[in-house]
Amino acid sequence: MPLVEITHAPHVPVETLRELGSVLPHLVSLAVECPEEPYDGDLQPGDVELRFRELGPLDRSGLDVVIEVRSKYTESRAADRQARVDRLHTSVADAVGLREFGVYLSLPVAAWSQGED
């Protein structure tokens, strides 16, 4: 279950942020898909968590948007993590039209638990 934080400059249009919110769950799921956690295209609640945050008055960033993706470490993800993050960057640019943005992929050793309904 990837956690995604989107930090954005105040001038980024709300429509752009809404579009990001719409496409990121699928694009991130494709980017972190692996044999240990295959992506079947059927996202369920809790599969991808998005958190948007506007830059504050003391924050410093040279980019309009920074997308930070954290997903549990697996050897297959780690083996090609740069290719994964490059593909995600290209996919976001193609889908939303952003130009001044960065994508950071972190693969910490982690565990996740979510109650079943």
- Cβ–Cβ under 8 Å, residues 114 and 42: no
In the structure encoding, which two tokens stand for residue 36, read together? 């240990």
- Cβ–Cβ under 8 Å, residues 22 and 43: no
- Cβ–Cβ under 8 Å, residues 79 and 26: no
Tens of pLDDT along the chain (117 residues) come to 799 999 999 999 999 999 999 999 999 999 999 999 899 999 988 889 999 999 999 999 999 999 999 999 999 999 999 999 999 999 999 999 999 999 999 998 877 777 775
In the structure encoding, which two tokens stand for residue 56, read together? 């504050």
**Residue 101 to residues 34, 35, 65, 93, 105: CA-CA distances in angstroms?**
25, 29, 5, 9, 14
Domain residue spans in the chain? 3-106
Superfamily assignment of 3-106 in CATH? Answer: Macrophage Migration Inhibitory Factor (3.30.429.10)
